[in-house]
A and B are shown apart, each in its own frame.
Chain A
Amino acid sequence: MATLEINDLHVTVEADNSTKEILKGVDLTVKQGETHAIMGPNGSGKSTLAYSLAGHPKYTVTGGTVTLDGEDVLAMTVDERARAGLFLAMQYPVEVPGVSVSNFLRTSATAIRGEAPKLRTWVKEVREAMERLNMDPAFAERNVNEGFSGGEKKRHEILQLELLKPHIAILDETDSGLDVDALRVVSEGVNRVREGGEVGTLLITHYTRILRYIKPDFVHVFAAGRIAESGGAELADKLEEEGYESYTKGGASE
């Protein structure tokens, strides 16, 4: 069973010629089949956690450990992490000029699966996954994220989630910028993957809205670079009522 274990993770970032510590000792364990929501105010370090786990070069890990089934994730390159089963659905997916969606999907599926998917079944697999996300087939011929609307970018991220079948999926503010219809479609995509029971999900969000569609097993409140409180789904209801104020008081957040 896939398990992601984060222990006392400290992460810094270089900004304006100074080094700033963003994550200040994060402890979290995500097991296959579980869904953890990480909620927190802006600037609390939620996205830093997501990008640090994926290995973005902007962030420097200064302390702690991250393991996936006992393997040292922090020692892996970005692509090795993905091949080990980590997936990050990005808040701001990047445009890649010259690369069509279909070429991109096939190349990444080949890398993740270790062999090129058989063309005939692959075409069908992609077409069906796109249909489920209400994506126009013409989408496959566009360049990756180039000229995509906010909703199209998020659907494209979830399409990859469905096709790449990671062990651990990190969804970084996948709900941001989506209208209710798009949110529903995207959430249904996430739920289809979760129902397989093969994936552990780390759902990072500012708002409780998405939790009406994707029910978490655990909710963690992120504040000032660490997890301030953990609980069940009821903790989200409390946040809905009270907001983050009680966690940000005292100026611990940057």
Chain B
Amino acid sequence: MADNTPAGSTTDGAITVGQPVDARVSSAPSYDVADFPVPHGREEEWRFTPLERLRGLHDGTAEATGALRVEVTAPDGVTVQTVDRDDPRVGRAGKPVDRVAAQAYSSFEKASVVSIPKESILTEPVRIAVHGEGGTVYGHQIVEVGAFAEAVVVIDHTGDTVMAGNVEYLIGDGAKLTVVCVQDWDDTAVHVAQHTALVGRDATFKSVVVTFGGDLVRLHPRVVYGAPGGEAELYGLYFTDEGQHQEHRLFIDHDTPHCRSNVAYKGALQGQDAHAVWIGDVLIRAAAEGTDTYELNRNLVLTDGARVDSVPNLEIETGEIVGAGHASATGRFDDEQLFYLQSRGIRGDDARRLVVRGFFGELVQQIGLADLEERLMAKIDAELEASVG
């Protein structure tokens, strides 16, 4: 795989030319679903998504009939509350930017708020286990980290659901938040969510998004900076199997000076109609002098019949920056590679495992969370086990 192919490489080598960020959203952000027309599928932000598989989340027909079982395990000092929508923290990180996020915002009944008090350094992670018990649900989750606090939050999604939601991360000045968000849904689940992080002065936000399951998963991680000195590291892994649609649309809004962002998402695909979409939008506004940003997406296509759309897009409105770059590449594991490895005595299934573990291993190490590393590699092995056979 080439290191720096032009933006928008797809598996068949076609190049998609990135569009300006402004052209990507067909409506202005809003809390109200009525401000967004029902998408028809040709809009820039919907063109990769199979609308018919959203089960009505996009057109107002999905009634909230379902249930989630949510268990929060939190160390002492962390508060877990259920609040009404008039709570001042609700919606603070930013407005919904598309119809489904606005639908979720307009439809949720109570928001869940996990608060880590200022200056508390958690030695154990906060665990939020979300288990879908069928039907349609709209959710709103807030994670609030006080100034100079440090926390790791692990959100696990399992079970079956049709869920639209918003997640807000409010990261106080000098605080450090690491969030691991795992989509390990049943193969029938639909999950559409906007994650918005508001990064405070000199605060650090590290996000690890891991998507294995679901029929359709469409996540929209967004970063905005509240004050200078903020840092965001966004990592992602996905393993897209036969028939699955997994879409990650990132947006980093550098509107504040001297902030950093680093994005690295890697995905493997296997099976007929496995479809992964990765959109990486970075906007460096005129005021954001001293910005340092880099984004990378790599895909490994293991079988025929899978499709990748990878569209990095960097828009720069000031020359006074430290650095800005992006890379996107899609590689194929093909018969020639298999032959090469086998000709060195390596069995076929071992060869495939070697390639996939190697591909993800680098990123998993970079994430630097030891127990997560083991869990991810085990999960990757299981995904391979299920298919290699």
Contact = CB atoms under 8 A, between A and B. Distances in A.
Interface string A132-147: 0000000000011011
Contacts, number: 87
Contact of A79 (B335, B346, B356): B346
B1 A96 contact: no
Given A57-B335, A103-B358, A107-B354, A96 B344 contact: no
Interface string B323-353: 0000000010101110111111111101000
Given A103-B354, A146-B1, A111 B345 contact: yes
Contacts of A100: 358
A147 B354 CA distance: 19
Interface in A98-139: 98-100, 103-104, 107-108, 111-112
A82 B361 CA distance: 27
A111 B358 contact: no
A112 B345 contact: yes
A82 B1 contact: no
Nearest to B356: A98
B224 interface: no
B2 to A, nearest CB: 8
A174 to B, nearest CB: 15
A96 B352 CA distance: 10
Interface of B: 1, 3, 300, 331, 333, 335-337, 339-348, 350, 354-362
B344 A97 contact: no
Given A94-B336, A107-B350, A82 B342 contact: yes
Contacts of B333: 97
A88 interface: yes
Given A79-B348, A97-B331, A98-B359, A56 B354 contact: no
- Which of B335, B341, B359 is most buried by chain A, counting CB atoms within 10 A of its CB? B341
Contacts of B345: 79, 82-83, 108, 111-112, 164
Nearest to B341: A96
A94 to B, nearest CB: 4
A98 B363 CA distance: 11
A164 B343 CA distance: 11
A117 to B, nearest CB: 13
Interface residues of A, number: 33
Contact of B337 (A55, A87, A96): A96
23 contacts: A54-B339, A55-B342, A55-B343, A56-B339, A57-B335, A77-B348, A79-B343, A96-B337, A96-B340, A96-B341, A96-B355, A97-B331, A98-B300, A98-B357, A99-B354, A99-B358, A100-B358, A103-B358, A107-B350, A108-B346, A111-B350, A144-B340, A164-B344
Nearest to B1: A97
Contacts of B339: 54, 56-57, 78, 94
Interface in A54-98: 54-57, 77-79, 81-83, 87-88, 90, 93-98
Which secondary structure characterizes the binding site on chain B?
helix
A59 B292 CA distance: 52
A78 B348 CA distance: 9
Q: Is the interface of A mostly helix, strand, loop or mixed?
A: mixed
A55 B336 CA distance: 12
Given A57-B335, A107-B354, A97 B346 contact: no
Pairs of residues from A and B, 6 with the lowest C-beta to C-beta distance, nearest first? A98-B359, A111-B345, A108-B344, A98-B358, A82-B345, A78-B342
A97 B342 contact: no
Contacts of A54: 339, 343
Contacts of A147: 3
A201 interface: no
Given A79-B348, A97-B300, A100-B358, A88 B331 contact: no
Given A57-B335, A107-B350, A111-B350, A99 B343 contact: no
A160 interface: yes
A29 B360 CA distance: 45
A99 B360 CA distance: 10
A98 B355 contact: yes
B333 to A, nearest CB: 8
The listed residue with most B CB atoms (<10 A of its CB), out of A96, A98, A103, is A98
Contacts of A108: 341, 344-346
Contact of A111 (B336, B344, B357, B362): B344
Contact of A107 (B300, B343, B346): B346
Contacts of A111: 344-347, 350
Contact of B342 (A79, A103, A104): A79
Interface string A40-62: 00000000000000111100000
A78 B354 contact: no
A104 B354 contact: yes
Nearest to A114: B345
A82 B344 contact: yes
B347 A79 contact: yes
Contacts of B1: 95, 97, 146
Contacts of B360: 98
Given A97-B1, A98-B300, A107-B350, A88 B343 contact: yes
B166 to A, nearest CB: 35
A69 to B, nearest CB: 17
B327 to A, nearest CB: 14
A223 B235 CA distance: 56
Contact of B343 (A82, A95, A103, A143): A82
A94 B300 contact: no
